[in-house]
Amino acid sequence: MTVPEIDLLATALLGGAPCIQTIPDTSVGSSPTQGRGLFAKRGWPEGYILGQLDGQVVSVAQYSAVGTLEWNGLTPELLPVRPIRTSYGFMNHSTNPNVTIEGGNTMRACRPIAPGDELLIDYFATPVPDAYLASPEAAVLRRDR
């Protein structure tokens, strides 16, 4: 099995942890949705602010390779990029999400979340560039819509 570079870096720098914990009371685990996912260790009511997207804001036009990364864009032209995976990098796509991203970077529960629930977002509810939409990863997600 090939380990993605972002996971190798986390393993090397975080003592084996899968990510920097940016959403408290969550854990990474095997996902019925896709690969690994992010799961709630406690419940949150609808409207609860889970955290903020973070990273260095990068212009996709200037650094075109970032346009094919996992996409949590602020706009179709700007992406927060981070060298080490953070909690929200493990949130999987769903057309029935329980987390929404508001104002470009605020993660909020859009319905109640119970302990053990997987945190899910609708990737296409945020600004998505054409380069990402053309990627094989996005083609799989579009089939679910």
Encode pLDDT of 97-134 as tens digits: 999 988 878 999 999 999 999 999 987 777 666 666 66
- Interatomic CA distance for residues 23 and 34, integer angstroms: 20
* Amino acid identity for residue 9 in this structure: L
Which CATH homologous superfamily contains domain 22-143? SET domain (2.170.270.10)
For 68-73, what is the mean pLDDT?
59
Q: What is the pTM of this model?
A: 0.78
**Domain map (residue ranges) of the chain:** 22-143
